[in-house]
Structures are given as structure tokens and as C-alpha cells.
Chains A and B, each alone.
Chain A
Amino acid sequence: MILSLALVTLLMALFGGWLFRHSWGARPWEAQAAGQSPHRQAPPGATSARVGLGVILAVATSLFALTVSAYLMRLEQGSDWRPLSMPGLLWGNTLLLVAASLALQRAWRAARAEKPAALRTGLAWGGGLSLAFLTGQGLAWWQLTAAGATLQASPAGSFFYLLTLLHGLHLIGGLVAWWRAWRRLGRGGDITAGVELCALYWHYLLVVWGVLFALLLMT
């Protein structure tokens, strides 16, 4: 629990600190001086969609941190922990996810530079590679099950299925956003904002996968 505690407290502390900073010197009881026109108080560049993505990432961070904490606690407390041999396929899947993230990054850059062809290619590769990653994860499940490492067989196996499932579901959620951007591109709309959010979300999920994979390998 210490890990998620640290992370969630860090998130809350950052958020609280940000709020404190905004409120420290404020003198709320003073009204706007006459003749001074009030303005909107929001940091430049903070759009609703970006802030929304930030909130989603905070929620996902809490979810993954807690699951990892549960994993570590179960590892420590249970007497029946047997390490699980990871299928080699996972290395390939990791490369696929890295490539998907890079492709979306290129798509984002292309969108900013207004290069429609490169945008289309990047976006298509990003989605395609992600689907390939998900298929690969499915194959890894199949390999493990065929080898007898089922969900019931060992706690390490149970956690493997749970963690990959949670990560996969988040990726599928991302693919819904990707699909909306893709269709909008097909209709000729401006999707710079959407591609940016996709790219950031994919980088985040790549980092999460990196952490999960390292954890699964080490224990």
C-alpha cells in the first residue's frame, strides 16, 4: 500500500499545492476596483479537453498504482507465490506498443506542421500497431493458458491476467477516441487537438505497460 499511498498523496499534494499557490496571496473579500474589467482566470493553453485528459490520467494512475500495490502485498503475504515464466511474445508486444506510440507522436507532429499525408499515415500506423499489440496480448494469454498457467493456477498468473486486462481495456478506450479522430479525418475535419490527446494517452499507457512488464519480469 505504501506505493499507492505515496503516489496518491503525491497527486493530492501537487493538486493541493497548486490550489494553495493560487489562493495564498488572494484577498477574496476585496471587490474588483471600479473601472477595472475582470478577466478569466485560466492558465494559457489549458483547454477543457487537455484538462480532462489530465484528470483521466490521474484516475488511471490511481487505479494502476493500487493494483500494483495489491500485487506486491499479495506477493509478500501469501505463502503460495510461484513465479510465472513470461512468454517471450511479450517482448514483441512491447515493441509494437513503442512503435504505436512513436507513430502517434509523428502524426501529432504532422498535424501541427499541417502535413495531411504524414498525419494520415501516422494515425493509421498508430491504430494498426495498437490493434496488433492487443492481438499479441491475446496470444500471450492463449500461450499461458495452453501451458497450464491459468487464472486459477497461481496468484502470479491471476495478477498477470488482471493487469494485462486492465491495461488492454484502457487501450481499447483509447482506440475509441482514435476511431473518432480517424473518422473525423475522413470527413476532412481538423483533428490536431484529438491527435495530441491520443499521442499523450498512448505515451502514458506505454509507460504504464513498461512499469507493469518490468514488475512482472522481476517477480
Chain B
Amino acid sequence: MVESRGSAVVEEMELVHPKTFLGKYIWSQDAKVIAIQYGLTATAIGLVALVLSILIRLQLGFPGTFSLIDPSSYLQYVTMHGMIMVVYLLTAFLLGAFGNYLIPLMVGARDMAFPFLNMLSYWFYLASVLILVASFFVPGGPSGGGWTLYPPQVISAGTPGAGGGIVLMLVSLVVFIAGFTMGGLNYVVTVLQARTRGMTLMRLPLTVWGIFMATALALLAFPALLVAVLMLLCDLLLGSSFFMPEMLNLGEPSGHEGGSPLLYQHLFWFFGHPEVYIVALPAFGIVSDVLACHARKNIFGYRMMVWALILIGVLSFVVWAHHMFVSGMNPYFGFLFATTTLVIAVPTAIKVYNWVLTLWRGNIRLTVPMLFAIGFLFTFVNGGLSGLFLGNVTVDVPLSDTYFVVGHFHMVMAVAPVLVIFAGLYHWYPKVSGRMFHQGMAKWHFWLTFLGTYLVYFPMHFMGFAGVPRRYYAYGESAFISESVITMNLVITLAALVVASAQLLFLFNMAWSLRHGEKADSNPWGATTLEWQTPHTPPRHGNFGDQLPVVYRWAYDYSVPGAAQDFLPQNLPPEAVSRAEGGEASS
């Protein structure tokens, strides 16, 4: 797509320049197109999960009113909602969409290090999504064994979807992991190898740091899920006994002997806990850049932010068993993992303090991305604090499997990262599309989403204290469920409906603004990072025209005294700065 292929383009990297529509937009090897493909696919499957969550809420708010929702389908909705949101939406969106779009642009590269592999990564992802969707249509429907897919239940007869549904789910995960590994390889190698001149590691924007560390985690953690899934498939299809103990199921012997369900839990959570940070770290990075840019202030403690990311990454591998406090493992293990869990709160708290200190005495502009970023701070702190409760064994045991846990993890790893995804989408929308989004609709979207999700998840903590168990289809005549819980469930369902419709408003805004939005100039927020300094908006294939940018400074030179525009782009040479400041500054 670059018309003038200057010598620079050829020297640095050979780009594939297809001529046909299919080559440009479908079988594209341009990271930006792949990013949009990732984003659209993740949004589509995310909408499916959103609908599932509404079905779940309808049953809880109006028990037994809808004949569509029976106990089995309720469990299937819960399972598929969880799996889709965690793996196929959040992971794919934050790494696949933001990673592909931003890494090459922010480090000053033409494209990813291995563009063909990058394209393959997307097609694997699409295949995994289609396989997952197919499981809705097989006899017996999708799996209903919970998103953690614990054996023996998930593959035993009697569990919804224990036939074709679970097979397709497991195969889909294998394909997803294969695709992700190709993408992840690209992200890591591109950040390490393809940075432009002057872009030292410590001049990288925090967005890139976050995505980079998350990818490193994912590359080491996904193999655990892969092994677990392969072994589960063997148990299911080939009759081995890795996880399946000897047991009677519906009065029949299962035909397995000696397998260890606990082994599965260890493998699953060895992946599952880093997965939380695979989602959180890119969000941390993006929110840092959005806060700094819209508060016109350098990020407080850049080095500390980087070290905190690294430390969280390393520590996230030694906390997994805090998901298993009630699984019957050795209690000394529980003590050990409670300790590491509380230790990981330290670097996380450092990040929160630094975000708040970045805002302190900043020149805050309450733009839409900024609103979402500040919303993230509230939600994340709230969800993080309830995590401290659950990290302690003695507190966790009574709260385990109650709505407190549902409230906690939705706050901290569902709503918080989603708010950052919105912050990022609004922040980069003018660059990606060349148009501004509609401000009014976007602000409505923010307030409805932010306040609405609070109304949905905050009361769940109290329901947890009241002992309301999660995953139940209906509570029936249980004496310990008080009347107020039933009323609360109704309120939560109504709030959830409002939040869901707000997301339709968001989608409409994105689509409408593509044609009707104001034309955006190349750097509407006055940001310093390289993606805003491209010669074209939206950037064309090859990103930077004929000459790659050269980087002279970090990404946080905001509100610089004497600067012509109050900020200094990363590629502004020092000579140009002193000229702009006038004679006395340059001496």
C-alpha cells in the first residue's frame, strides 16, 4: 500500500504488497489489518458471551420465567460465558488486537518480525472461534462443566455437553494455543529486535512493556493448559486415566482407575493464574499511557512501573494454588501460596499509587478515554482489595464458591480490563479510522457502563457474605437465602440489561463514526508516542513512509515548559527543541 517504496523500505524489511482486495484485507500480512481482524472477531464472539450473560441474569432475576433456560442450558451458558470472555475475548483482544496494532507502530517498526506467521496466527484464532461456536450446534450442546473444565465432572455422562460439546471445546483450545504461540513469538521478537534507532528498552511506552510482559507470561503458561487439555482428550476419547479416578457414574463404573483430578487442577491453574495477568498487564500498560497523555503529565515513576510489571510477571507463576484452597491439597501449601499472593499485592499497589500520583496536579482533560481510564482505577482497586480477602486461606474457605468470588473476579479481571479496552479503543480510534467518534454517545456509554457494572457486581460481595452459592440455577426453598437476596438479584439483572444495551450504543457509535465522524487530524490528543507521528492517518502498510523515525526521548514529555505545543514527540531531535525554545534555552 506504500506507493513510493523508497530505498529505506527495502533495506529494513521486505514487505508483501498485495494488489487484490483479498490480499490486502483478508489474507493480509500487515499487522494493522490483522489487528482489526482480531478485534472484530473477538468483538463478535464477545457479543455471544454477552448474550449468554444476559440469559444467566434473566434466570437469576426472574427464576423460572423463561422456558428456554433449563438447568442444563443454564450451566452451559455459565461455562461458555466464562471461557469465551477470558480466553477468546480478553486475551485475543488485548494481545491480538492491541498487540498487533500498537507494537510495530510504537517501537518504530515497519511490521512484525514474521508477518506470515502473524497472519497464520489470526487464521488459527478464527478457526478456534468457529470450532467453539460449532459446539453450540452439536447434539447435547456445548459443555456445561464450568469454564475451568474440571474432570471428572466435565467429561462424565450426565454433565451437559459431555459428548461432542466438550470435544469441540478442547480441540478449539488446542487450536487457539497453537495460534497464540505464533502471535506471541512475533510480539516478543518484534519488541526485542525491531525497535528503531534510539528506542532503547527504557524508552518504550508502557503499553508495549505491558503487552510484552503479558506475552512472555502467556508463552510460558499456555503450555500448561495445552498439556491438561491433551490429557483430558486422551481420558475422554482413548480411555486413559490421567485425571479420571475409579468411580461410579449414574450407577455405572466409569472404566477408569487411579487418575488424579487434583493433577488437572494444578495444571489448569498453573495456566489459569498467569492468565489473570496476561489480561491485566496489557491493561496496566495501556492505562498508564492514556492517563499520562490525558493528564498532560509524565507517568510517575516510569522505572518503578517497568520493574513492577516484571516482578508481577515473575511472581504470577508462584501463586496458582490460591485457586485451590478448598481442593484438599496439603494445608502447608495453602500457607505458602497465601504468602506469595499477598506479596504480589506489593508491586500491584506500587502501580496504583503511581497512577494516582500521575493524576495528582496533572492538567486533567476529562476526555472519553480518560474517563474510562479513571473508571478502571476505581474498579481495579475495588476488585484488588477483595482479592486480599480471598488470598487468605481462613477467609477464603467460607467465601469460596459464593457470590463474593463472582463479584471479586468480575471487578478485577472482567470489568477493569474491559474498561481499559474501551479507553484504548476510544484513544486510538482517531488513528485507526481517521475519524473522531461521537462524544455524546461515548460519554453515555461510559457512565452507563461504569455505574451499571458497579451496580451489578458490588452487591454480589454482600450476597457472598450472606452465603449465596454461585453456579446455582435456582435457590428454591432454601432457608438461608433471604428475601433481600431475591430482590437484589432482580436489581442486578435490570442493571445488567442496561449495561448490555450500552454496549450496543458503543458498537453503533464505532460504526456510525466511521462514515459520519469528524475527520481527525493526525494527533488529536497531543500524544508523544510514535504511532501519532506517522505521515498518514490511518497509517499505511509500512507505517512510517520512506524514513523510519529516530527516537530521542521517552514517551512522557508532557507539559514541557517552553515547548511549542506543551509536549515533545519521541522522535523530535534535541536540536529542534532548543530552536523552539528560543536563544537562551539552547545555550
Do the beta carbons of A151 and B310 come within 8 Å of each other? no
Do the beta carbons of A70 and B198 come within 8 Å of each other? no
- In the complex, the chain A residue whose C-beta lies closest to that of B266 is A1
Do the beta carbons of A58 and B303 come within 8 Å of each other? no
CA distance A39 to B185 in the complex (A): 25
CA distance A62 to B221 in the complex (A): 8
Q: How far is the CB of B533 from chain A (nearest CB, A)?
A: 15
Please name all residues of chain A whose beta carbon is closer than 8 Å to the beta carbon of B551 when the two chains form the complex.
Answer: 38
Closest 9 CB pairs of A and B: A38-B198, A80-B258, A63-B223, A31-B553, A26-B202, A78-B258, A158-B240, A34-B574, A32-B552
Do the beta carbons of A67 and B227 come within 8 Å of each other? yes
Please name all residues of chain B whose beta carbon is closer than 8 Å to the beta carbon of A47 when the two chains form the complex.
Answer: 193
Chain B 525-568 per-residue mask, 1 if CB under 8 angstroms from chain A, else 0: 00000000000000000000000001111101100000000001
CA distance A79 to B239 in the complex (A): 18
Known: A12-B220, A55-B219, A152-B240. A23 touches B574 (CB 8 A): no
Do the beta carbons of A63 and B227 come within 8 Å of each other? yes
Chain B 279-313 per-residue mask, 1 if CB under 8 angstroms from chain A, else 0: 00000000000000000001000110011001101
Q: Is B389 in the interface zone, CB < 8 Å from A?
A: no
Do the beta carbons of A39 and B554 come within 8 Å of each other? no
In A112-144, the 8 Å CB interface with B consists of none
CA distance A47 to B577 in the complex (A): 35
Please name all residues of chain A whose beta carbon is closer than 8 Å to the beta carbon of B203 when the two chains form the complex.
Answer: 28
- In the complex, the chain A residue whose C-beta lies closest to that of B216 is A15
Please name all residues of chain B whose beta carbon is closer than 8 Å to the beta carbon of A215 when the two chains form the complex.
Answer: none
In A48-66, the 8 Å CB interface with B consists of 48, 51-52, 55-56, 58-59, 62-63, 66
- In the complex, the chain A residue whose C-beta lies closest to that of B551 is A38
Which residue in B198, B200, B201, B219 is a CB contact (below 8 Å) of A19? B201
CA distance A159 to B554 in the complex (A): 51
Interface size class of B (residues with CB under 8 A): 35 or more
Q: Is A210 in the interface zone, CB < 8 Å from B?
A: no
Q: Is A46 in the interface zone, CB < 8 Å from B?
A: yes
Identify whether the interface residues of B are mostly helix, strand, loop, or mixed.
helix
Chain A 70-85 per-residue mask, 1 if CB under 8 angstroms from chain B, else 0: 1001100111110000
- In the complex, the chain A residue whose C-beta lies closest to that of B188 is A55
In B173-227, the 8 Å CB interface with A consists of 181, 184-185, 188-189, 192-203, 216, 219-221, 223-224, 226-227
Q: Is B348 in the interface zone, CB < 8 Å from A?
A: no
CA distance A74 to B244 in the complex (A): 11
Which residue in B202, B240, B556 is a CB contact (below 8 Å) of A151? B240
Do the beta carbons of B220 and A59 come within 8 Å of each other? yes
Chain B 491-521 per-residue mask, 1 if CB under 8 angstroms from chain A, else 0: 0000000000000000000000000000000
Do the beta carbons of A74 and B260 come within 8 Å of each other? yes
Q: Is A29 in the interface zone, CB < 8 Å from B?
A: yes
Q: Is B366 in the interface zone, CB < 8 Å from A?
A: no
CA distance A26 to B202 in the complex (A): 7
Please name all residues of chain A whose beta carbon is closer than 8 Å to the beta carbon of B311 when the two chains form the complex.
Answer: 16
Please name all residues of chain A whose beta carbon is closer than 8 Å to the beta carbon of B196 when the two chains form the complex.
Answer: 40
Known: A4-B270, A52-B113. A9 touches B314 (CB 8 A): yes
Which residue in B113, B197, B219, B578 is a CB contact (below 8 Å) of A59? B219
Known: A55-B189, A155-B242. A66 touches B224 (CB 8 A): yes
Residues on B facing A (Cβ under 8 Å): 113-114, 181, 184-185, 188-189, 192-203, 216, 219-221, 223-224, 226-227, 230-231, 234, 238-242, 257-260, 262-263, 266-267, 270, 298, 302-303, 306-307, 310-311, 313-314, 317-318, 550-554, 556-557, 568, 573-575, 577-578
Please name all residues of chain B whose beta carbon is closer than 8 Å to the beta carbon of A52 when the two chains form the complex.
Answer: 113-114, 185, 189
Do the beta carbons of B234 and A158 come within 8 Å of each other? yes
Please name all residues of chain A whose beta carbon is closer than 8 Å to the beta carbon of B575 when the two chains form the complex.
Answer: 34-35
Q: How far is the CB of B155 from chain A (nearest CB, A)?
A: 15
Do the beta carbons of B200 and A41 come within 8 Å of each other? yes
Do the beta carbons of B195 and A40 come within 8 Å of each other? yes
Q: Is A216 in the interface zone, CB < 8 Å from B?
A: no
Please name all residues of chain A whose beta carbon is closer than 8 Å to the beta carbon of B231 when the two chains form the complex.
Answer: 70, 162
Which residue in B240, B303, B568 is a CB contact (below 8 Å) of A26? B303
Which residue in A12, A22, A38, A42 is a CB contact (below 8 Å) of B552? A38
Do the beta carbons of A32 and B260 come within 8 Å of each other? no
Do the beta carbons of A16 and B313 come within 8 Å of each other? yes
Please name all residues of chain A whose beta carbon is closer than 8 Å to the beta carbon of B181 when the two chains form the complex.
Answer: 59
Do the beta carbons of B223 and A51 come within 8 Å of each other? no
Do the beta carbons of B223 and A77 come within 8 Å of each other? no
Do the beta carbons of B318 and A23 come within 8 Å of each other? no
Please name all residues of chain A whose beta carbon is closer than 8 Å to the beta carbon of B550 when the two chains form the complex.
Answer: 37-38
List 14 A–B pairs whose Cβ atoms lie within 8 Å, in order of A's numbering. Answer: A1-B266, A5-B270, A16-B310, A20-B307, A22-B202, A29-B302, A37-B550, A38-B550, A55-B219, A63-B226, A73-B260, A74-B242, A74-B263, A77-B260
Do the beta carbons of B307 and A66 come within 8 Å of each other? no
Which residue in A16, A31, A33, A39 is a CB contact (below 8 Å) of B557? A31
Which residue in B184, B192, B202, B556 is a CB contact (below 8 Å) of A23? B202
Please name all residues of chain B whose beta carbon is closer than 8 Å to the beta carbon of A20 when the two chains form the complex.
Answer: 307, 310
Do the beta carbons of B193 and A48 come within 8 Å of each other? yes
Candidate in B194, B219, B262 with the most chain A CB atoms within 10 angstroms:
B219
Q: Is A172 in the interface zone, CB < 8 Å from B?
A: no
Please name all residues of chain B whose beta carbon is closer than 8 Å to the beta carbon of A16 when the two chains form the complex.
Answer: 310-311, 313-314
Q: Is A8 in the interface zone, CB < 8 Å from B?
A: yes
Which residue in A8, A40, A56, A162 is a CB contact (below 8 Å) of B317? A8
Q: Is A11 in the interface zone, CB < 8 Å from B?
A: yes
Q: How far is the CB of B169 from chain A (nearest CB, A)?
A: 20
Please name all residues of chain B whose beta carbon is closer than 8 Å to the beta carbon of A19 when the two chains form the complex.
Answer: 201, 306, 310
- In the complex, the chain A residue whose C-beta lies closest to that of B220 is A62
In A147-183, the 8 Å CB interface with B consists of 151-152, 155, 158-159, 162
Do the beta carbons of A28 and B258 come within 8 Å of each other? no
Please name all residues of chain B whose beta carbon is closer than 8 Å to the beta carbon of A40 when the two chains form the complex.
Answer: 195-197
Known: A29-B298, A34-B575. A51 touches B314 (CB 8 A): no
Do the beta carbons of A151 and B239 come within 8 Å of each other? yes
Please name all residues of chain A whose beta carbon is closer than 8 Å to the beta carbon of B234 when the two chains form the complex.
Answer: 151, 158, 162
- In the complex, the chain B residue whose C-beta lies closest to that of A65 is B223
Please name all residues of chain B whose beta carbon is closer than 8 Å to the beta carbon of A35 when the two chains form the complex.
Answer: 574-575
Please name all residues of chain B whose beta carbon is closer than 8 Å to the beta carbon of A37 when the two chains form the complex.
Answer: 197, 550
